[in-house]
Structure 1
Amino acid sequence: MNILKPILPNDGLYIELQWEGGQVFLSISKEGIQRVEKANGDRVITIRGSAQAIMSLLQGSLKLQQQLRLNELSVTASFRHILLLESVFFLGKPYDLVR
């Protein structure tokens, strides 16, 4: 988590993950990443896709941009927030998976 701290926002940025029959909200900030009951404010990134596509993203099997190009995921966010997420997912992967 320490490698991510410099790029994370001071205030919470919320990620809403949606898949068929499910949904979860995460808050990311310099304080860490935690699951929350709902998103607060207007700093919400929504990622929609199948449960398998979201798991691939979270496990680091496929990058966010790859899944967007393949239409496996859709994201509602600013381009800047999409780049931030791509960095968080990539840098947060275990070292042995980075290629």
Structure 2
Amino acid sequence: MVLPGLGAYAASKAALNMLSATARRELAADGITVSTILPFVTATEFHQTLRAGQVVSAADSPVHSADHVAAAILDLIHTGNAETSLLPESLTTAH
């Protein structure tokens, strides 16, 4: 996502995604599966601290519970898929 003011944060996440994709290929021969989850806003204490209790989300975008994100992670573990996204469709389509 392109979010003005969060360039360094976005760049670090992009680097982590590439590192995970590379590790997936490098470790596959050893039977190790690496998967990536792309969450959106998750209702956790992180947002309590960061925004003094306000969870900020786009008007048409959901705030996911930690349980919802955990279920998606478990699904990744079970399927072994490379990636899953919880991002709203409005943020994943090219404009």
TM-score (norm 1): 0.24
Structure number with the bigger relative contact order (C-alpha 8 A, sep ≥ 6) is 2
Q: Which has the larger radius of gyration?
A: 2
